[in-house]
Structure 1
């Protein structure tokens, strides 16, 4: 792919300006600008839109499993797919849930907190779920920093999950449905990770990931009503 901007971003205003420049354009336009060649795997890659938007904004990035997409600014970049009736299409993946590393039990030291400290949301507007990827429209970007109340709810969700993990109640972690967070399996039965059950045995389970719930995401877009105009 062809890089459009310098990788170095000195401040968030430059990042936001880059995001605003693509408002109203379609994914097919991004592909043209990046000189991206569509392969047979294109439609099967669920994260392809996010990858394209990130590459447009910041170019190649280093491994960011723990850090934000732009660590020196403390900003994560996320897309949020919405239909023309303001319906959120998917829960939003944030990061993996550690199942055996108990050194990061505290919320404010967690990968989750790091990822959610500040997010630049890029709305992706569709007519319905059958809208082709290439014809999905880019909406107005907006920044989000968790409020005090949101941080409290996130903290409560995290603490509830860590209690289950410490007690080895792994089956209760599956599809945890909290105030803001949701837990889902990430991977398949062939991709297993280790954890400890309630009697201290090391067992193999499907990896888990943390998502922001659609209901919560809808509350965010209600505060940013001009994102589709």
Structure 2
């Protein structure tokens, strides 16, 4: 892993220096092997870019660049720049939902400032052929934060009632919740309908692809 950048400007400059590299070229610089496919190693691209940029987070809850308060998110995009999938944010806090507020939530902390790095990822491309794009350092506008907060609070109302299992990927305008776990049998402690803790399937927050597409489109318009 490379030295951690000390300012947002240094981080953004370093990220811009990666643009145009294939993941195989970047992996070669870091002496990292490239997997044949990502079905069993979905986090490989993110970890590769974290190492290349010098991420310093010591916990899963902290932003990847903890000292700068900046989270790194890779965005698989097609040839038109459109995100191909939703973006993982963080795991849902299920065990003690009454103690959590938006202002102190992991979601808000993760999304306070985000370095988005698009990666050209057409289905015909192997992992090593995928191409690093120009980065974007994003901070939610008041309107965007209001949307995120409204979705989060709606999800949390359901979770506080003990019905996290009833939330589907269709819920939420920009912030959705989906099951998360290495195996379908994975379980964590969460609040059940009775008000007691019980073992339930872990879940995570994701930004909808349409939301990240708007962020990219606005940035492109501003930079032209």
CA shift, 1:129, in A, is 1.7
Compare 200-209 and 115-124 and name the one that shifted more: 200-209
**In the TM superposition, what are the counterparts of 1:1-229 in structure 2 within 5 Å?**
3=1, 5-7=2-4, 9-38=5-34, 44-58=40-54, 61-102=56-97, 104-126=99-121, 128-175=122-169, 177-187=171-181, 188-225=183-220
- Aligned to 1:78, the other structure's residue is in SS state strand
CA shift, 1:198, in A, is 2.0
- Partner Cα distance (2:74, 2:63) in 1: 14
CA shift, 1:62, in A, is 4.1
- Partner Cα distance (1:39, 1:125) in 2: 17
* Runs of 5+ consecutive residues of structure 1 not aligned to the other structure: none
Cα-Cα RMSD: 2.2
Question: 2:95 touches 2:197 (CA, 8 Å); kept in 1?
Answer: no
C-alpha change, 1:139 and 1:101, in structure 2 (3 Å) is: same
Scaled by the length of structure 1, the TM-score of the pair is: 0.89
- Aligned to 1:223, the other structure's residue is in SS state helix
C-alpha change, 1:99 and 1:51, in structure 2 (3 Å) is: same
Compare 98-107 and 160-169 and name the one that shifted more: 98-107
Alignment size in residue pairs: 222
- Partner Cα distance (1:195, 1:44) in 2: 27
- Partner Cα distance (2:150, 2:187) in 1: 27
- Aligned to 1:194, the other structure's residue is in SS state strand
- Partner Cα distance (1:220, 1:76) in 2: 15
Scaled by the length of structure 2, the TM-score of the pair is: 0.91
* Runs of 5+ consecutive residues of structure 2 not aligned to the other structure: none
- Partner Cα distance (1:95, 1:174) in 2: 16
C-alpha change, 1:169 and 1:44, in structure 2 (3 Å) is: closer
